[in-house]
Structure 1
Amino acid sequence: MGVFDGDAMIGYSSAAHKPLAEGVHRVVVSGGVRPDRRRQGLGTELLAAGIAAARVLHADHHPGLELAVDVQNNALNDGARACYDRAGMTPVRWYSHLRHPLGDAVVDVPMPGGCVVEGYGADNDAEFLAVRNESYADRWAGVPMPSEQWRALLGWPAFRPAHSFLARDTGSGAAAGVLLTFSWDADARAAGVRDAQVMTIGTLRAHRGRGIASALISRALRSVRDDGYDGAGVEVDAGSPSAVHGLYERAGFALSRTEVRYTLEDRPADRRPG
């Protein structure tokens, strides 16, 4: 939903459900209020609307599961944190947003022996999805992405297939790791900086420890650098093993900001009609 002052939008709220869920159905609520209209109660109303929408989506798609309503924001946003506190939400996860300056800071890491890299294409699209789903299975809140959602994700104008790569094991011929890159033109116009974002990266468990992820990151960074991008970013779950952060630090990434995931665990007795 949106809040307007005349023709100008001053705030919005949205809720996105998971088509597939196991045990707990997590619905992510997003929103924001224009800076000059904050501290007027709009954020509280929009969050309440988002939670109500999450309950409707849950009842429609996964009524037999527990519901968790998630929001995420900058750790330094005190106004947002107060809004979440009033709604009964608690912090459950921290995420590091890392940025790479590109240029000479890009580290050249070759594919390990027994692997080759190839770009994204229609012929390996299904393998990209299969590796994404299997590699995300052991992550916090990781659930499979159905093909319809995958098609919608790659249908975004922000998807950059020319900077997305797959690692293939030459012995078995099977895909071993993938990386997807996105970039938003509107953000570039607003900020005057064109950054690429690593949105998906995963290596199958059987191929971890070979250096595939490092090589995929290096390949993507070289690709966006050569295409004239100003920087690259990635979001890392701070609850992941420290080796994950080390992977990006060795590649030349540095911390840009920290975000916090807040959750409202919705008990059946708490639910109200949408």
Structure 2
Amino acid sequence: MAFDLASLTRRPIAARDAAALAELLNAIEAADVFGEYYSESDAAEQINAPLLDLGRGTVGVFDGDLMVGYSSAAHKPLAEGVHRVGVSGGVHPDYRRRGLGAELLAAGIASAKVLHSIHHPGLPLAVDVQNNALNDSALACYRAAAMTPLRSYSHLRHPLGAAIVDVPAPEGFVFEGYSADNDPEFLAVGNEAFLERRGGAPMPPEQWRGLLGWQAFRPGLSFLLRDAGSGAAAGMLLTFSWDADTEATRVRDAHFMRIGTRPAYRRRGVAGALISHALRSAQDDGFDRASLDVDADGLTGANGLYERAGFIVARTEVSYTLKV
């Protein structure tokens, strides 16, 4: 396809761009296969994320009314040691191999520097990106920008049915479904469990509220495991399911977005029981499969846990980083 890069319009993404962004993301999915499909409302949730600075953190590239590329930088409201800014982006398949991807990556890095100077100027900055491990052109673009591999992630799937391994709750523990009453405990357990992965900084309440405000959140398939003796919440699991994915694939997928165990309760069967309970609940609720993402290079033993539960690797994604 012939086009002139100079004729394309660049501007920050706005709320009115939800339909255009969804169309672009679905075109990218068809080429790059992330397993993610978007409705206009899904894209609107991304655009209206509470902490996204549209004016300073995003760039949309348009050919007339068609969005043909984008870049988005997301700062961390809380950071310790290093401020890690995640940059995402992509180019419509018909507009590739003309340098637009490199331009948008450079724009994302520039946005990250601006956001960093506002929110955490006293910390070192690291800019992180992530993509399908099979997307050679994107990985080459990262390397050309002097980014280096950081880690890889596995997307795992579970077929449910006979593959479910029943793991009872440890003695003295009880399952509890998500509710407004125990919502603060879900956040507290998640923050304590993920401190190592989040650079020592907890997820702030406004970001939590934004996450659980997504239409994809499934409170009926989200569970807490409580120590009945002490009353403490020991572990949590949050489930999401996107209607756009179901419509595109005809497969209802229960995605376990977050699974966490408080350090004091690790190696006591908490995570295994939560996963088993959620898998059985998804099966009973008519879902076709379950999925989750895990750090393929992690040292927590999670990969073995998921393998024993019946999950298998469906694809791999890799992340690159740039220390600025």
TM range (shorter): over 0.9
TM-score of the superposed pair, with normalisation by structure 2: 0.79
- 1:11 partnered with 2:69: yes
Given candidates 121, 125, 145, the residue that maps to 1:67 is 125
- 1:209 partnered with 2:267: yes
Report sequence identity in percent.
Answer: 71
Separation in structure 1 between the aligned mates of residue 227 and residue 150 of structure 2, nearest angstrom:
37
Given candidates 276, 279, 288, the residue that maps to 1:230 is 288
Aligned to 1:151: 209
1:107 positional shift: 1.5
Given candidates 180, 187, 190, the residue that maps to 2:238 is 180
2:301 is paired with a residue whose SS is helix
Separation in structure 2 between the aligned mates of residue 80 and residue 236 of structure 1, nearest angstrom:
21
Aligned to 2:86: 28
The RMSD of aligned alpha carbons is 1.3
1:68 positional shift: 0.4
What pairs up with 1:93-132 in 2 under 5 angstroms? 93-132=151-190
Separation in structure 1 between the aligned mates of residue 95 and residue 181 of structure 2, nearest angstrom:
49
Separation in structure 1 between the aligned mates of residue 76 and residue 299 of structure 2, nearest angstrom:
25
1:218 is paired with a residue whose SS is helix
2:229 is paired with a residue whose SS is coil
Unpaired segments ≥5 residues, structure 2: 1-58
1:81 positional shift: 0.6
Aligned to 2:304: 246
1:142 positional shift: 5.2
Aligned to 1:269: none
Kept after mapping to 1: 8 A contact 2:178/2:224: yes
CA offset digits 1:243-272 (Å, max 9, x no partner):
211100111100111111100100xxxxxx
Q: What is the identity, as a one-letter code, of the residue corresponding to 2:195?
A: A
Separation in structure 2 between the aligned mates of residue 33 and residue 172 of structure 1, nearest angstrom:
52
Pair 1:85–1:96, CA change in 2 (3 A): same
Unpaired segments ≥5 residues, structure 1: 267-274
1:224 positional shift: 1.6
Kept after mapping to 1: 8 A contact 2:71/2:105: yes
Aligned to 1:272: none
1:259 is paired with a residue whose SS is strand
1:5 positional shift: 2.1
TM-score of the superposed pair, with normalisation by structure 1: 0.93
1:27 is paired with a residue whose SS is strand
